[in-house]
Chains A and B, each alone.
Chain A
Amino acid sequence: MTIIDTTADAPAPKGPADDGSGPLLDVRDLHVEFKTRDGIVKAVNGVNYNVSAGETLAVLGESGSGKSVTAQAIMGILDMPPGRIPQGEILFRGQDMLKMSYEERRKIRGRKIAMIFQDALSSLNPVLSVGYQLGEMFRVHQGLSKKDAKAKAIDLMDRVRIPAAKERVNDYPHMFSGGMRQRIMIAMALALEPDLIIADEPTTALDVTVQAQVMDLLAELQTEYNMGLILITHDLGVVADVADKIAVMYAGRIVETAPVHELYSRPAHPYTRGLLDSIPRLDQKGQELYAIKGLPPNLTRIPPGCAFNPRCPKAQDICRTDIPALVQVTERDGSALPGRGSACHFWKEQIHG
């Protein structure tokens, strides 16, 4: 299994090629900005991460941390303009997708990399039947006939366990419940058995019991097809069960990377610490819930130094001037912790107390 690449000046803990084939997707120093009336919004500022087949990467962060924008850049569905990718590489199976033509990228979308969106009601076309929308994948990418595509659509609906798939294939999205609609989104992403699925907050619009069902289904199908999965979320509870590794984003940068359980037990960044402390816990019922003070930064005017410094309880002078690089996190004795990185000047104090 590979781990998240750290920035250039950090020692790469384990080469991405150690499983023989290299990572499925490798995002390198990705920058995305948007031109707006108020100036240039720097949504993503040098993101590095990679995902291998069968692996789940959870990208964690508040709204506006750049997690969705990164995903959209990978899919190639950013609105450009106003969006722009001034630098960076997105390698899919070793090939830089940013250098591909529109047609080449289109053929990867849906077939090799698929995406599950947050709000299934607005993300499905209201005037086309779900059978048509599912079948479209086969008709466009594999040239199947209308009839064969519909049969495949029914299969798909069965596979994501939509009851009475045959009867419901001609129904429209508004006729399904929220959980069923999200299953249809998942089915659509799975249709061509892609290598990588990006799930952008797939359970945010659902209630808690349905959330669990949908996540279980996703995890199960992922194992079955040995797909890579990028799970974008702000829900730490969802992450713990399914993810292999986590990347925490803040103001368009990755501030901490770690294997999932290590992050929970020993965070190496004050922001991660804050996020973990903000999870409501049963044993603290009745007490005031912790919250990270302040607001996420305005992306047109990111604070100098560490973007988190105005909200950080441990901020010192250096945090207001120098941008901390994502560095390898080590044990007290200096032995590297595999897959761990932190972009904090004081990560040692954070992790080792």
Chain B
Amino acid sequence: MGRYVIRRLLQMIPVFFGATLLIFLMVNVMGDPVSGLCGDRTCDPATTAQLKADFGLDKPVWQQYLTYMGNLFTGDFGKAFNGQQVTELMGTAFPVTARLTLVAIVFEIVLGISLGVLTGLRRGRPVDSGVLILTLVVISVPTFVTGLLLQLLLGVKWGLIKPAVSPAATVDELLVPGLVLASVSLAYVTRLTRTSVAENARADYVRTAVAKGLPRRRIITRHLLRNSLIPVVTFIGTDIGALMGGAIVTERIFNIHGVGYQLYQGIVRQSSQTVVGFVTVLVLVFLVANLIVDLLYAVLDPRIRYA
């Protein structure tokens, strides 16, 4: 187990460098980073040259990358073009997005798994068909439609929530955005759990559990769920990474100043330092989330052993 973790952590190193290099190159291709600094006008050549020299943009790309990576390991993610430290932006953005992701994941786990178990055990009944159709609708409607619609109805028309989230972004403010963010994954979790539960409900060991005279609740929680949740855990685990970085649409709609918002700003303002910095951290989040999922496998299913 320990050796496996070490091996996996070592494997992260090339993935990390590869991913950051790709992002670095892509951001460079995006366009001239200096051009965005003078507002709508084009900068005069002298200023451009001065700025480029200041930021080290006159050097070849590989040298820029090495300098950047070197700085990265001293904890210096560079400056955004408005002069703010990127680490400072991260410090405000990541806690907000982490809260949003947490709300979304809780929705996925609580709602998604409960609905999945409910429908899985009542396959073919009206509840099952109803939830199935609902999940289909949620999956087919894009997030921005769900988001804008809920914002319009709950926030503007009925005044149940504030249409925009304050900079503090407390958990109760994030409930509706979290639900919107989770919606598609939630539908997938429901379907995944449903299939898994329905399949395992016919398994021999469930029949044994019934024959042992166990109460129904115990059969479901101890015997059925434990086996059914293995694929669901994989999905939710990888979804954490996706939710952390993929909240751009939801954060824009509800004006949440999280990672998605900063990434969007960075792209629009061509602030390559911000984009590369944030994405680098997201790559790390993905890698760690994947490792945790793999380790959770072994906890959930003793037949899986890592050496």
Contact = CB atoms under 8 A, between A and B. Distances in A.
Interface of A: 75, 77, 79, 106-111, 114-115, 117, 119, 122-129, 136-137, 140-141, 172, 174, 188
Given A172-B302, A172-B303, A174-B303, A126 B205 contact: yes
Looking at chain B's contact residues, the main secondary structure is: helix
A36 B212 CA distance: 28
A123 B204 CA distance: 5
Contacts of A115: 211
A253 B166 CA distance: 75
Contact of B205 (A107, A114, A122, A174): A122
Interface of B: 202-205, 207-215, 218, 222-223, 226-227, 300-303
Contacts of B202: 79
A109 B219 CA distance: 14
Contact of B227 (A75, A117, A126, A137): A126
Nearest to A108: B213
B211 A110 contact: yes
A117 B213 CA distance: 15
B213 A106 contact: yes
Given A124-B205, A125-B226, 15 more contacts: A75-B211, A106-B213, A106-B215, A117-B204, A117-B211, A125-B208, A125-B223, A126-B205, A126-B227, A126-B303, A128-B222, A136-B222, A141-B213, A172-B303, A188-B212
B212 A122 contact: no
B68 to A, nearest CB: 46
A107 B215 CA distance: 9
Contact of B210 (A109, A122, A140): A109
B214 A136 contact: yes
Contacts of A140: 212-215, 218
B302 A109 contact: no
Contacts of A129: 302
Nearest to A185: B208
B303 A77 contact: no
B205 A77 contact: no
Contacts of B300: 127
B212 A117 contact: no
Contacts of B207: 77, 117, 123
A126 to B, nearest CB: 6
Contacts of A111: 213
6 contacts: A108-B213, A122-B204, A124-B208, A125-B227, A126-B301, A136-B212
A110 B301 contact: no
Contacts of B222: 128, 136
A72 to B, nearest CB: 8
A109 B212 contact: yes
A106 B209 CA distance: 11
A127 B227 contact: yes
A155 B302 CA distance: 24
Contacts of B218: 140
Contacts of A174: 302-303
